[in-house]
Amino acid sequence: MKQSLLEIKHLNKAYGENIILKSFNLKVEKGDVVVVIGPSGCGKSTLLRCINALEDIQGGEILIGGEPISRNAKNISTMRQKVGMVFQSYDLFPHKTILDNVLLAPIKVQKRKRNEVEKEALELLGKVGLADRKNDYPRQLSGGQKQRVAIVRALIMHPDILLLDEITAALDPEMVREVLEVVISLAKSGSTMMIVTHEMAFAKAIATRVLFLENGEIVEESKEPKAFFESPQTERAKKFLKSFEY
Amino acid sequence: MDWNVIISYLPRYKDALLLTLRIGWQGVLFALITGILCALVIYLKIPVLRQIIGIYIEVFRNTPLLVQLFFIYFALPKIGLQLSPEACGVLGLSLLGGAYMAETIRSGLENIAVIQSESAESLGMSKSQTFRYVIFPQALSSSVPGIMANVIFLLKETSVFSTISLMDLMFTAKDLIGMYAKTIECLTMLVVFYLIMILPVSILGNILERRLRFAEFGS
């Protein structure tokens, strides 16, 4: 049987008494763009944080390319390099220039040569339209620009899968577009992604699969995103999607 | 104001200033090193050591430097540890300053948002890399205003050195007043010499603060 890029088996995650994810199962194949939607508190962000081992888990297993990723394992650094993550609040390193933000991890973690990575960094920054800002500090950039840098910072590690956690939630509408266009072009180039978002139009445009979560469980799953957004099968998803209409 | 008196006193004040500066910068340097080490222990929650350092900080922050100096200068020799007055001055400043610096740097470390370490770790950085390249530089720069305030405080505290017979600025002024009673000249010179010593530090602090201010504009 073919090895899935990401496989989650019976994942349990709780904060104390509060159960977030209940025996959660998921397989993601190379090239999938999985959009995860659902009401706040449904566990979608926690799911991404678990995949990147930013959370301790209470049961089950998360496999990346067949290998388990776990917070306290020795190989955590190697495993995390396979998983790129971009957060809602971008969180660039404020004391480093844009270029150094991008270069820090490849040089220190992957021990790559500075001039080789720098070339790639400038290429990637160029693709998101920010090569000319390489010597600026994060504070000099707009939210949308910072978020594009954060995407580049994750991409330069050549992750197998990119996790995007509500990356436009903190942005003005115009900036949302410039960031999402970057993500769309990534999807076109075949990147594997898992995206948590509240931008339904974007989700519809980009998804190859949709997961609708509530209370830590998949309520509805669809490999036909267009059909899902037009006529969801479950009442709960119908109600949720309706809340975006006016 | 008798200008001739002032001119004739200048060499003594200059010597006193140099002595105060010599002890002052050594004290500040060791205070900073002590402070960083103590803050690290507290931040990394190293057991036992952390409690000991907690006690050290409370004792030295909550007692006057004068008392600490008396202890070092008069009490330590009784248990066989005799230090020169200058070494006592440096030690006193380092211990007092270390306690203040530790608190300043610790709060700087604790103010760095959790998400900063999460984004570093999500890039595969180890805990120590995250600390070295992401957390510590930010904490240090956000501590600069506090550190500079401590430096100024420590330099001013040197005025109690006269009590352990160090010929610092304060000692010199008191000595000259006692001998020649030129009170106004002596005290004015005292003020001016303290300003000569401390104002540049103050200005340097402002410049550093402006240059290192990235954190508050958001990441």
Exposure letters B103-123 (e unless 16+ CB within 10 A, then b): bbbbebbeebeebbbbbbbbb
B chain contacts of residue A155, beta-carbon cutoff 8 Å: none
Helix axes B3-43, B136-157, angle to 10 degrees: 140
B chain contacts of residue A135, beta-carbon cutoff 8 Å: none
Which token pair is A128? 């998101």
> In this predicted complex, what is the ipTM?
0.88
Instruction: Test A93 with B134 for CB contact under 8 angstroms.
Output: yes
Instruction: Test A83 with B119 for CB contact under 8 angstroms.
Output: no
Which 3 state secondary structure label does DSSP give A208? coil
Instruction: Test A85 with B119 for CB contact under 8 angstroms.
Output: yes
B chain contacts of residue A154, beta-carbon cutoff 8 Å: 122-123
Order of strands across the sheet that contains A6-15 = A18-28, A6-15, A59-64, A67-68
Residue by residue, pLDDT tens for chain A (246 residues) are 678 899 999 999 999 888 899 899 999 999 999 999 999 888 899 999 999 999 999 999 999 999 999 888 889 999 999 999 999 887 899 999 999 999 999 999 999 999 999 999 999 999 999 999 999 999 999 999 999 999 999 999 999 999 999 998 888 888 898 899 999 999 999 999 999 998 888 899 899 999 999 988 899 999 988 889 988 889 889 889 988 888
Which token pair is B41? 């222990």
Instruction: Test B119 with A105 for CB contact under 8 angstroms.
Output: no
Has residue A202 been placed in a domain?
yes
The predicted pLDDT at position A1 comes to: 61
B chain contacts of residue A146, beta-carbon cutoff 8 Å: 219
The predicted pLDDT at position B18 comes to: 95
End-to-end CA distance of chain A: 46
CA distances from A24 to A5, A20, A43, B73, B197 (A): 17, 10, 10, 68, 66
**Whole domain around residue A157: which residue ranges?**
6-242
Secondary structure of B100-149 in HEC code, one letter for each residue? HHHHHHHHHHHCCCHHHHHHHHHCCCCHHHHHHHHHHHHHHHHHHHHHHH
- How many CB atoms are closer than 10 A to CB A244? 12
The predicted pLDDT at position B136 comes to: 93
Instruction: Test A93 with B123 for CB contact under 8 angstroms.
Output: no
Chain A positions with Cβ closer than 8 Å to B: 52, 54, 77-78, 80-81, 83-85, 87, 89-95, 104-105, 108-110, 137-139, 146, 150, 153-154, 157
Which token pair is B165? 């017979």
Instruction: Test A110 with B116 for CB contact under 8 angstroms.
Output: no
The predicted pLDDT at position B218 comes to: 54
Average pLDDT, chain A: 92
Candidates B126, B217, B219; nearest CB to A93: B219
Q: How many CB pairs below 8 A link A and B?
A: 81
Which token pair is B118? 């999460």
Predicted confidence (pLDDT) per residue in B27-77, tens digit: 999 999 999 999 999 999 999 999 999 999 999 999 999 999 999 999 999
Instruction: Test A83 with B116 for CB contact under 8 angstroms.
Output: no
Q: Which residue in chain A is spatially nearest to B114 when comparing CA positions?
A: A91
Min Cα–Cα distance to chain A from B140, Å: 11
Q: Phi and psi at residue A26, in whole multiples of 5°?
A: -165, 145
Has residue A71 been placed in a domain?
yes
The predicted pLDDT at position B214 comes to: 59
The predicted pLDDT at position B10 comes to: 92
Chain B positions with Cβ closer than 8 Å to A: 113, 115-116, 118-126, 129, 133-134, 137-138, 141, 214-215, 217-219
In whole angstroms, what is the distance from residue B40 CA to residue B102 CA? 8
CATH number for the domain formed by residue range(s) B3-214: 1.10.3720.10
- The answer to whether B114 and B128 are in contact (CB under 8 A) is no
Candidates B122, B129, B218; nearest CB to A85: B122
B chain contacts of residue A85, beta-carbon cutoff 8 Å: 119, 122
Q: Phi and psi at residue A136, in whole multiples of 5°?
A: -80, 165
Listed in sequence order, the DSSP H helices in A86-132 are 98-108, 114-127
The predicted pLDDT at position B1 comes to: 79
In whole angstroms, what is the distance from residue B74 CA to residue B3 CA? 39
Angle at B35 between CA B34 and CA B37, to 5 degrees: 65
Give Dmax over CA atoms of chain B in angstroms.
Answer: 71
Predicted confidence (pLDDT) per residue in A178-229, tens digit: 899 999 999 999 999 999 998 888 899 899 999 999 988 899 999 988 889 9
Which 3 state secondary structure label does DSSP give A161? strand
Q: Which residue in chain B is spatially nearest to A48 when comparing CA positions?
A: B122
End-to-end CA distance of chain B: 56
Residues of chain B with confidence (pLDDT) below 50: 215
- The answer to whether A203 and A35 are in contact (CB under 8 A) is yes
Indicate the DSSP class of residue A3: P
The predicted pLDDT at position B210 comes to: 83
Which 3 state secondary structure label does DSSP give A223? coil
Has residue A1 been placed in a domain?
no
| Domain count for chain A | 1
- The answer to whether A62 and A68 are in contact (CB under 8 A) is yes
- The answer to whether A89 and B115 are in contact (CB under 8 A) is yes
Radius of gyration from C-alpha coordinates of chain B: 21
Instruction: Test A77 with B133 for CB contact under 8 angstroms.
Output: no
In whole angstroms, what is the distance from residue B102 CA to residue A112 CA? 36
Min Cα–Cα distance to chain A from B162, Å: 43
